[in-house]
Amino acid sequence: MSSVDPSRAGAVPPPAPAGAFAPLRQPVFAVLWGAMVLGNTGSFMRDVASAWVITDLSASPAAVALVQTAASLPVFLLALPAGVLSDILDRRRFLMLVQAAMALVSAVLMLLAGTGTLTVETLIGLTFLSGIGAALVGPAWQSIVPELVPREQLRGAAALNSLGVNVSRAIGPALGGIVVAALGAATAYAADAASYLVVIAALWWWRRPAKAPDALSENFLGAFRAGLRYTRASGDLKRVLLRAGVFFAFASALWGLLPLVAREVLGGDAGFYGLLLGAVGAGAIGGALALPGLRARLGTDGLMLAAALSVSLVMAALPLVPPPAVAVALMLLLGAGWIAALTTLNGTAQAILPNWVRGRGLAVYLMVFSGASAAGSLAWGGVAQALGVPAALWIAAAGGALAALALYRLKLPAGESDLEAARHWPDAEMVHAAPAERGPVMVQVEYRIRPAERAEFLAVLRRLGEARRRDGAFAWGVFEHTADAGRVVEWFLVESWAEHQRQHRRVTRADAGVQAELLRFHTGEGKPAVGHWIALD
C-alpha cells in the first residue's frame, strides 16, 4: 500500500486495553483497516525485494543507500502539497487514483525483474515513483480516519492504524525475504501489485458522503501559504521539527546501510535480511505496548533520550559482527527504540496542531522526516563508500548519541492546550460589496492600559501576536501613541477578506484564553475598539 509507514513517519501509540478494538465495530473502518494491513504487508515485501536486488546489481554502498534516498526524497518534496490536496480534493477518489498508479509501478518492477532487465537506474527511478505515491497518499489516508469512526473513538482508531502497520512490518519483511529467496523478486513485486488492488476495492466499496459546499473553502495556493505561515509562526512546532530532523539524520545511517550490514558485515542471505526487518517490526510492537509505562516513568523527554540512545547502541554494536541470534535481539531493541521516538515526536506534533491545519502541519513534519532521511542516507552512503560500512555506522552512532544528549535540554512542548475552535469573535461586516479574495486586510485593535503594567501587557500581547500569525496574519505589530502613553494599537495584516473570515474560525480556545488574559489590562470603557481596513484597488 502506498500510505506512508507510520513506523517511519509518524506512528501513534497502540491502543490501551480498555476499548482497544472498539473502532473495528465500525464496518467501514474495519474493512479499510484490513486493506491497510494487507497493503502495507505488500509494500514491505516490495521494499525487501528492492533492497536485495540492488545488492545484486551493485556492490557500491552509495548505490544501495540511494534506494533509500529515492524512496524518501519525494516525501520531502511533496509532503506539504500532498497535505494541501488532502484538504481540498475528494479524498476517496484521490486515494483510489494514486493506488492505481502505484499498482502500475509495481507491475513494471515485476515485469523487469522477471525478464532480468532491471538495472540500477531503472530500480532507483521506479522506487522514486513509488515514493511519490507514498508522499501523495500519506496525508490523505491519515485524514480520512475522523470520517470513519465517532469522535470518541479517534484515538483508538489511530492507535489501531499504528498497530496494523507494525503487524505488517513484522510479517512483510520476513515474508518478503522468504519469497525473494525461494521464488525471486518478481513474485514479491507481483504480491505488492495485487495488494494495491485490494485497497482500491475497499475504497470503491466505501460510499463517502459528499462534502457540503463552503463559500470559504481554500484554494490550493491559499491553503499552501496558510500552512507555511502556521509553520513559520509556531515556536512549538519548530521545536518538534528540530528534534525530529536531528534524530532522523543520524538514524537514517542504519536504514540506508542495513542491506549491506546483513549481506557483507553479517554474511546473511535475503531470508536473513527479511528476518532482521521482521525483528524490527516485532520490537516495534513490543515497544509500543510498553510505551505507556515507560512514558509514565521517564517522561516525554526522557523517553525520547532513551530511544535515541538505544538506536545509537544498535548502530555501534552491529559492525562488531555479533552472532545471528544477537543481531536479531539488537533488531528487536532497534524496533522498540524506533517506535518510541517516532510515537513521541508524532504524538507531540499532533497534540500541538489545531484541526484546521493538522494535515498540513503533519505534512511539514513528514517533509522534515523524509528530507533528513533522504539526505542522511545519501551522506552516510558516501561515508561508507570512503571509510567502510562499520566506520560509517560508528560515526553515526556517536553523533546520534551526542546530539540526543545535547538536545535533551530543548524540551518538547507538553501539548496540553485546548485546540478546539473557540468561535468567539463576532462576524466582521463590510458595508460595500467586494470580492471575498480582495485584500490585503488590516485589522487594528486599540487598548487603553496603565503605563505601570506596560511590560506585562506586552508580554501577553506578543503571545497573542504569535497566535495571529499562526492563524493567518502575514505581518503583525504594536504601536504606542506618542502623546498618550496608555494608548496602544495592535495591528495585523491578512492577505484577503476571505482569509480574515477563515481566521475567525481558526482561533482556538487556548488562544481565546490569551485574549481574555490580555483584556484584564484594558482600562477603557467596554471592549477594545476593533477596526477593519481593506486595500483600495
pLDDT in tens, 333-383: 998 898 888 878 877 887 788 877 877 888 888 888 878 887 888 899 899
CA distance 522 to 528: 7
Cβ–Cβ under 8 Å, residues 256 and 64: yes
HSE, side-chain direction, 13 A CA sphere, residue 397: 18
pLDDT tens digits for range 116-161: 898 888 998 999 999 899 888 887 787 777 778 776 666 556 666 7
Tell whether the model's pLDDT for residue 391 goes beyond 90. Answer: yes
Cβ–Cβ under 8 Å, residues 1 and 36: yes
Q: Which residue has the cell 547502541?
A: 313
Domains of the chain: 12-209+219-407 (1.20.1250.20), 441-534 (3.30.70.100)
**474: helix, coil or strand?**
strand
Mean pLDDT score across all residues of the chain:
84
Candidate ranges 20-29, 145-154, 443-452; pick with highest mean pLDDT: 443-452
Q: Which residue has the cell 544501495?
A: 64
What are the helix and strand counts (H, E) for the chain? 17, 4
Tell whether the model's pLDDT for residue 211 goes beyond 70. Answer: no
Question: Three cell numbers at 351?
Answer: 497534540
Cβ–Cβ under 8 Å, residues 69 and 252: no
Cβ–Cβ under 8 Å, residues 179 and 396: no
Residues listed for the chain:
537
Residue 281: its pLDDT value, please?
77
CA distance 436 to 160: 42
